[in-house]
Structure 1
């Protein structure tokens, strides 16, 4: 069970698409769900960088799939989601004055929610295969997990929670998350050098939800932003930072996932005196069908012939046609070239 809890989740890199139309957040959500998968979800720093690359030189803010939700949850900074293990002190968390959104760990290993602006040391983590203990310039100590999967790094220089997060992400992986009593104890053992101070860990209170329902808790807010709203947009001009925005504003947006293709199979029968088994003739017919559909305001589609098992598009059939000549009835055989399947793909 310990190994299962400590497994690093595998997250497939996101596929992003910038849609250069201005819609409200809700309209953009509907569009992405019809055409792709959903509005963009950002799981980690790699996804953040991919999102910024997708936006390129685009200068206006664009919607992503983050919206303010209901009940608050305690989430981890690295994107691993809601805290399953906690170690609260008695009476905590209590959210005094409604302003205690971040979490400190004491030298005893107990946790307390406090305002994020307070200044203190902090603990980062990073994956590693090493199991060595290192002291660097007296500023921080490195502690590795016994299984060699990650190590914790303590910084004694005082910072706010958000500034600690920035440094951990730039120099390590992220702020420390704690998934078990064992990991909590490892950080406490690292705390020998910080007594009697307390340190930041990567736990924070959050009410934002992703449109696709994912529990990922990665956030990348613009610091000291004075904007407000219940939906999130990304600002390329601010290194891809996110800002709160009113959901009814219109903006470009980013979808995720592959383009959905709707496939329709149409069976047709063609009566003609020309040889439709000739590829040039069948291609010409296909182009005429496409032109006819566009004249009927059908757009964003692709037509293709579907071959049978023998590789043929059309099949020749013989039918009897009755003719009247003077007072007598004659019959003749007419050629009907038919191929019953035409593929219609609409994006």
Structure 2
């Protein structure tokens, strides 16, 4: 026997567009500081240096700064740790040897220059790891290398795999003598060697945001840490500068979100009259199923709660008088 019940529930929805919710409110600080000083100021006064998680927040930060400055660079919460390493893991004597091109920046084309080339009788330079070049393997030991030039163009990762499968690893270079020997083997203009680094890009507040808005220009950084700026003179695009540079900066705080409340009335039909819809376990199970349905539809930021009637119950059997009133309203 079917039984009609009325279900009353309350939806609490955060008052912003779910697909483009701005989680950060930005605050421009004109007083120039180095990056560490700016970070300390933001953490004491607001929440932290600016984190940017999507295009809407990027535009909001630009608007915030542009109301004060139209042609400046400002610190944001982005920073990187620059750690060049050898493919074979060598960290012994000579591991820090570098033969960079004169005035070669340690941090070069920040968004993709993470692998190193040696030229034909030329010093080293960083390049995009996805680019294809010949490469040099080591077929000896770390302390007694035997360099082998492979005249086949591959990206750095494929070259590394080839060297490990056919020799020992990509070449490690520990001193000027080994560098000259290696250069004399290069038959093309450039060849991969084993020096590389990971991106190691972080936000001050520990956010895992992967959103990026890079400037494509050069970044001449000669230290092991570099800090991020948004360049208003280049559409707010990001680049890295020495952290000791004194600049204005942008902090963020997390504004309280307004809450909208909506009451939703549903009619449910029971096939099993023995089920008590007011049982706490049953109510919890229904809530979970409704919440799962919302997630399937891509709706987030919504909280569902039951609204109890004065008698403490949520569900009430719908009487015949209610049916009659409904029919009258429908006829009108």
Same fold, TM-score > 0.5, yes or no: no
- TM-score, with structure 2 as normaliser: 0.36
Q: Which has the higher contact order (CA 8 A, sep 6+)?
A: 2
